[in-house]
Structure 1
Amino acid sequence: MKMLFRTRFLLVAALGMAGPQVLLAQTSPSAMPAAPPTTGTMPLSLQQAVDYAIKNKSTLLSTRLAEATAAAKVGEIKSQGLPQVNVGATLSDNFKLQKSLVDVGAFGGGASNTTLTATDIANAQGGQTVNLTQVAAPVVALPPQAIAFGLQYAGNSSVSVSQLLFDGSYLIGLKAAKVYTELAKKQTQQAEIDVAEQVSKAYYSTLVARSRLALLARNVQRLDTVLYQTDKTFKAGFAEKLDVDRLRVQRNNLVVEQQKAQRLTELSVSLLKFQMGLSQQQNVQLTDSLGAAVVDAGALRQRLGVASLSNGGVGLGAVPTAPATPGGDNTTTQNRVDQQNALSGGLPPAALGAINYNNRIEFSTLETQQALAGLDLRNRQAGAYPRLVLSGAYGFTGSAPTAGDLFAFRGPDSRNSNGFANQNWFGFGNVGLTLSVPVFDGFRRKYLVQQSRLQQQTIERGFETLKQSIDLQDAQSRTTLINALDVLDNQKANLDLATDVARVTRIKFNAGVGSNLEVITAETDLRSAQTNYYGAIYDVLVAKVDRDKATGELYNQVKK
């Protein structure tokens, strides 16, 4: 029996004000509860959120069911090589016995009789011995006669055993069983990586939204203070009503923005619960904070082989100045370096050729599919091998004119009242070898082998495509992360400047040497800088997740 393993080509796709060189990292994971809580508040670190999602996400549960199904399928195939035992029994009522025409003339000659003469009678009466002679009658031709064989009631019970001794397809199927199970596990790993990516991004989005909401609350409080002081100044006659009205408009706009941020934060939490497979009614408390468990962005830049915009990861620094000496211009050298980077995909010399494709689960999955394709080819080639099966059977058959007589179960020692044997059940048994040798199947096996070879070649071509795709993802994720770090540096510098401008403007306004319009403009610029900064933080976090996925490190982080 052929066992074909068919596979598919599967390829699978807010930090606090801590400074420009830090990114959020994961705190030490703690053990998840055995069962999800239904009341109270669930504390969640990023690692806990990922762990919970891997254990409870419905899509992953479905994937694991598919993995269990694959294991069961492997068990089914293995069972075909074990002894096959069958027990059966039949009972039939032949209410109309089938008749067959029989040539009764084939069983003997014609009729015969004995002739007595008067002399024979006289001799017998005289006490003499008389030898009678038999005279054959002429043969009379008889037509075939309809005769019914068997009795009305019949029964049969037997047990049969068969054992596969040799089948090339089965032996190759045993080798493929382990590879087939491994493929299902890798597909589950791929699904876990996707879930970890989704949960991480949702968690970061919630952190950013929550931190921005807290910042807006502080902005409203600070603006309330300015409005209160301006109102007192207006009542004292040292400010205009227009100044107060401008601040009220500014505050109203800020409150509306705060309300929108509150709803967006709630939506972010709902998205996080959805990605985790958690009930929307369950309250959660994010335990990772924006100022805790941070990673130096300068170290991240060194891993990427790049420096910051000005001095290697320290930030933007001062405003650029002209070269100190005429000979200090290195434009030509820099252009040559930029050209080399462009030709190498933006990778530094130390990173060229350092991509390990085996870190990507997609590459490992494709290798498993290639192994299965090779086994499938061998399996179809093995269809030309002989197949040998050992079989045996033992049982009893019985018949009787009535149902009650059939169930009397009389054996060979049974006798009736006249002393004649009246056995109604008879045993039988057999043992044998069955050898089947395929000779010609209309070239069917030839075309099956041809299909397997083409499938194998398709997978081999897929390796090159996958490598190119991984190279592109690596370059894209690296470029995106570098750009996000540069934007973060820029936005942090802008935030520092906007914060300082707003602080100085408020001091000037309180001292009576600044205008209310300057305060409003400075506060508006500050909020814009804050929004851009938090957006830059989120972009860096998402780019870091994408980078970890592209390099195959995300799954290792999930399994910590």
Structure 2
Amino acid sequence: MKNYLRVLLLAAGPGLLAPAGTALAQTSAPRAELVTQTTGTMPLTLQQAIEYAIKNKSSLLATRLGEQTAAARVGEIRAAGLPQVNVAANLADNFKLQKSLVDFGALGGGSSATQLSAADINAAQNGQTVNLKTVTVASDPVPPQAFAFGLQYAGNTSASVSQLLFDGSYLIGLKAAKVYTELAKKQTQQAEIDVVEQVSKAYYSTLVARARLALLARNVQRLDTVLYQTNQTFKAGFAEKLDVDRLRVQRNNLVVEQQKAQRLTELSVALLKFQMGLPQSQAVQLSDSLGAAVVDAGALRQRLGGANFANGGGVNGLGAVPAAPTPAGTTPDQNRQDQQTALSGGRTDQINAAFNYNNRIEFSTLETQQALAGLDLANRRAGAYPRLLATAAYGFSGSAKNFGDLMAFRGPDSRAANGFPNQNWFGFGNVGLSLQVPVFDGFRRRYQVQQARVQQQTLERGFETLRQSIDLQDAQSRTTLINALDVLDNQKANLDLAADVARVTRIKFNAGVGSNLEVITAETELRSAQTNYYGAVYDVLVAKVDRDKATGELYNQAKK
């Protein structure tokens, strides 16, 4: 992104000019309220642009949906510990009843008969009472017979309740839910930091592009004045037509550069709107000035601890920068050594002691991921713990020969026309405890624990890599910023010299003691110096944003 913005700013060529002697100093502008209008021109400070982007950038909105997903996931985990209630109903048409073989012979076998003897007959003829006896008559064995149980139509309805009493995985899951929510928030914060960086660089790009475009218009106006004066001198016979033609060629080139700069400025504004999530149709007016956006180079060098106090004086000229106060107990030689260490990309003991890795959201996110990995390992181990649930169920079941009879719902008090009970629905209920004890799972849990432990060790190794990466970014951003400040000082000095040379050359030409070619050469060099100066200004601004991001201060500054 930085390279793209750099090309965007410098593609206009040497025609984009800056006024000599522009004072650039850091000023603290009051925080303005976010403008939410959608019609007319929207006044926009950098702070407002950042706030609007954080609230409206589509990529951030999508990231925040991840937070909602995390919250829903937490609710899902907690729901497992609440009572689980289920209601079920079932109707079935057993159009072909299942039959089972039944051995009826095993129920008693044989047949019964009444035995009548001659003595019983004689006794009956004599008027005596005779009690006949029943005897069992042996019969042939009967094979098992097919028998259908139940009726064609059947139904049941029930309600069941279960309550988790103990589950080690559930308790660990509750802890992991909170950590998971924190991780989602940190991922959103990481996305917000990226948006702040993109919006800041795009805003500075637009500031520089507009400043160049405005100055280019003034340069065209000044060149028109020189061209008019030269043309009048030519008409009076004191200049050659070649001098007028040279100025016209230069003016034509400058107008072309102005048109290119206009289109590039429009493109930079479109990029800013895109980074903000602002509709392209919305007109904006940048409220911050370019001078207020550039930090004081001398003071910034002192904070970095890498200034060369013999050269350079910040944006206000080449005067000496006040020396930084020497900390107590630090010799001047040690102070200079620390400055050289910082300038070379190293970190002095004082800076190192003050640097907090937790200021970087990446480090904090990795810590959260490590905590999740630890909970995942504990969860795998908890899979060996028993699981205890309390259960209860109550319902009704019924059956009938036809569907209408089934839906009659006759209870225990129901009677048929002949007075016999004809109940067809019967209630049932149960309560109990369910204990599940894992005994052997083919070493599946053992390998899961190994994987979780390796994942945790991998994250631990990642801390050292991340620390080294942060150290490198810290040193690189410091060195880049110091170099950009040095280049800005040099380009400011070159701009002052080029402006003075162009001024003297114009005076000599107007006095008739200088040539037109000298004026054109001086103007060209001035425009080149101005272009280089604005490029250095943009580099300082981008380097400051990168520096704030490397130290973890970019997000905090955006929230101020």
The residue number in structure 2 matching 1:493 is 493
The residue number in structure 2 matching 1:151 is 151
Matching of residue 230 in structure 1 with residue 223 in structure 2: no
C-alpha displacement of 1:340:
5.9
CA contact (8 A) 1:26 1:293 kept: no
AA partner of residue 541 (structure 1): L
C-alpha displacement of 1:348:
4.6
Q: Within 5 A, what are the aligned runs for 1:198-213?
A: 198-213=198-213
The residue number in structure 1 matching 2:136 is 136
The residue number in structure 1 matching 2:182 is 182
CA contact (8 A) 1:308 1:486 kept: no
The residue number in structure 2 matching 1:259 is 259
CA contact (8 A) 2:172 2:375 kept: yes
More off after superposition, 497-506 vs 480-489: 497-506
Relative to 1, partners in 2 of residues 1:16 and 1:524: Cα closer, same or farther, differing over 3 Å?
closer
CA contact (8 A) 1:208 1:534 kept: yes
The residue number in structure 1 matching 2:410 is 410
The residue number in structure 2 matching 1:317 is 318
Please give the secondary structure, in 1, of the residue aligned with 2:517. helix
TM-score, length-scaled by structure 1: 0.90
More off after superposition, 396-405 vs 66-75: 66-75
CA contact (8 A) 1:484 1:539 kept: yes
CA contact (8 A) 2:342 2:475 kept: no
Out of 24, 27, 30, which is 1:28 matched to?
30
Please give the secondary structure, in 1, of the residue aligned with 2:393. strand
Please give the secondary structure, in 2, of the residue aligned with 1:22. coil
AA partner of residue 386 (structure 2): P
Relative to 1, partners in 2 of residues 1:20 and 1:305: Cα closer, same or farther, differing over 3 Å?
farther
The residue number in structure 1 matching 2:250 is 250
More off after superposition, 39-48 vs 400-409: 39-48
* Structure 2 Cα separation of the partners of residues 369 and 162 of structure 1: 34
Deviations 1:453-485 (A, max 9, x none): 111111111111000000000000000000000
C-alpha displacement of 1:297:
2.6
AA partner of residue 516 (structure 1): N
Relative to 1, partners in 2 of residues 1:424 and 1:185: Cα closer, same or farther, differing over 3 Å?
same
Matching of residue 54 in structure 1 with residue 54 in structure 2: yes
Please give the secondary structure, in 2, of the residue aligned with 1:160. strand
TM-score, length-scaled by structure 2: 0.90
The residue number in structure 1 matching 2:91 is 91
Relative to 1, partners in 2 of residues 1:548 and 1:16: Cα closer, same or farther, differing over 3 Å?
farther
* Structure 2 Cα separation of the partners of residues 397 and 281 of structure 1: 69
* Structure 1 Cα separation of the partners of residues 529 and 102 of structure 2: 110
More off after superposition, 529-538 vs 244-253: 244-253
The residue number in structure 2 matching 1:77 is 77
Relative to 1, partners in 2 of residues 1:266 and 1:336: Cα closer, same or farther, differing over 3 Å?
closer
Deviations 1:404-448 (A, max 9, x none): 110111111111111111110000011111111111112111111
* Structure 2 Cα separation of the partners of residues 335 and 193 of structure 1: 34
CA contact (8 A) 1:412 1:423 kept: yes
CA contact (8 A) 2:545 2:554 kept: yes
Please give the secondary structure, in 1, of the residue aligned with 2:354. coil
The residue number in structure 2 matching 1:554 is 554
CA contact (8 A) 1:411 1:425 kept: yes
Matching of residue 303 in structure 1 with residue 303 in structure 2: yes
Relative to 1, partners in 2 of residues 1:18 and 1:388: Cα closer, same or farther, differing over 3 Å?
farther
AA partner of residue 27 (structure 1): A
CA contact (8 A) 1:20 1:488 kept: no
C-alpha displacement of 1:192:
0.6
* Structure 2 Cα separation of the partners of residues 276 and 465 of structure 1: 33
C-alpha displacement of 1:185:
0.7
Q: Within 5 A, what are the aligned runs for 1:486-525?
A: 486-525=486-525
Deviations 1:208-242 (A, max 9, x none): 00000011101100110111111111111111111
The residue number in structure 1 matching 2:5 is none
How big is the alpha-carbon RMSD for the aligned residues of Structure 1 and Structure 2?
A: 2.5
The residue number in structure 1 matching 2:3 is none
C-alpha displacement of 1:30:
2.5
Please give the secondary structure, in 1, of the residue aligned with 2:383. helix
Deviations 1:52-86 (A, max 9, x none): 11111111111111221122112112111111100
Matching of residue 277 in structure 1 with residue 251 in structure 2: no
The residue number in structure 2 matching 1:167 is 167
C-alpha displacement of 1:312:
6.5
* Structure 1 Cα separation of the partners of residues 54 and 202 of structure 2: 15
AA partner of residue 394 (structure 2): Y
The residue number in structure 1 matching 2:532 is 532
Deviations 1:128-171 (A, max 9, x none): 21121223211431111111100000000000111111111111
Relative to 1, partners in 2 of residues 1:255 and 1:24: Cα closer, same or farther, differing over 3 Å?
farther
* Structure 1 Cα separation of the partners of residues 25 and 378 of structure 2: 52
Relative to 1, partners in 2 of residues 1:468 and 1:529: Cα closer, same or farther, differing over 3 Å?
same
Relative to 1, partners in 2 of residues 1:386 and 1:318: Cα closer, same or farther, differing over 3 Å?
closer
Please give the secondary structure, in 2, of the residue aligned with 1:518. helix
C-alpha displacement of 1:382:
0.7
The residue number in structure 1 matching 2:14 is none
C-alpha displacement of 1:300:
1.4
* Structure 2 Cα separation of the partners of residues 363 and 21 of structure 1: 39
C-alpha displacement of 1:295:
4.0
* Structure 1 Cα separation of the partners of residues 22 and 351 of structure 2: 25
Deviations 1:483-505 (A, max 9, x none): 00010011111111111111111
C-alpha displacement of 1:362:
0.1
* Structure 2 Cα separation of the partners of residues 340 and 466 of structure 1: 25
Relative to 1, partners in 2 of residues 1:25 and 1:385: Cα closer, same or farther, differing over 3 Å?
farther
* Structure 1 Cα separation of the partners of residues 116 and 365 of structure 2: 104
CA contact (8 A) 2:163 2:389 kept: yes
Deviations 1:375-417 (A, max 9, x none): 0111111111111111111000000001011011111111111
More off after superposition, 469-478 vs 435-444: 435-444
Relative to 1, partners in 2 of residues 1:186 and 1:338: Cα closer, same or farther, differing over 3 Å?
closer
C-alpha displacement of 1:247:
0.9
C-alpha displacement of 1:346:
3.8
Please give the secondary structure, in 1, of the residue aligned with 2:129. coil
C-alpha displacement of 1:17:
5.2
Deviations 1:525-554 (A, max 9, x none): 110111011000000000000000000000
Please give the secondary structure, in 2, of the residue aligned with 1:384. coil
* Structure 2 Cα separation of the partners of residues 184 and 398 of structure 1: 52
AA partner of residue 33 (structure 2): A
CA contact (8 A) 1:26 1:45 kept: no
Deviations 1:262-294 (A, max 9, x none): 111011011111111122222111111224466
CA contact (8 A) 1:154 1:406 kept: yes
More off after superposition, 160-169 vs 504-513: 504-513
* Structure 2 Cα separation of the partners of residues 217 and 421 of structure 1: 108
CA contact (8 A) 1:110 1:140 kept: yes
C-alpha displacement of 1:45:
0.9
CA contact (8 A) 1:18 1:291 kept: no
* Structure 2 Cα separation of the partners of residues 242 and 353 of structure 1: 67
The residue number in structure 2 matching 1:388 is 388
CA contact (8 A) 1:27 1:293 kept: no
The residue number in structure 1 matching 2:350 is 350
CA contact (8 A) 2:157 2:397 kept: yes
Relative to 1, partners in 2 of residues 1:500 and 1:474: Cα closer, same or farther, differing over 3 Å?
same
The residue number in structure 2 matching 1:103 is 103
* Structure 1 Cα separation of the partners of residues 479 and 423 of structure 2: 93
Please give the secondary structure, in 1, of the residue aligned with 2:278. coil
AA partner of residue 175 (structure 2): K
CA contact (8 A) 1:16 1:291 kept: no
AA partner of residue 95 (structure 1): F
CA contact (8 A) 2:395 2:428 kept: yes
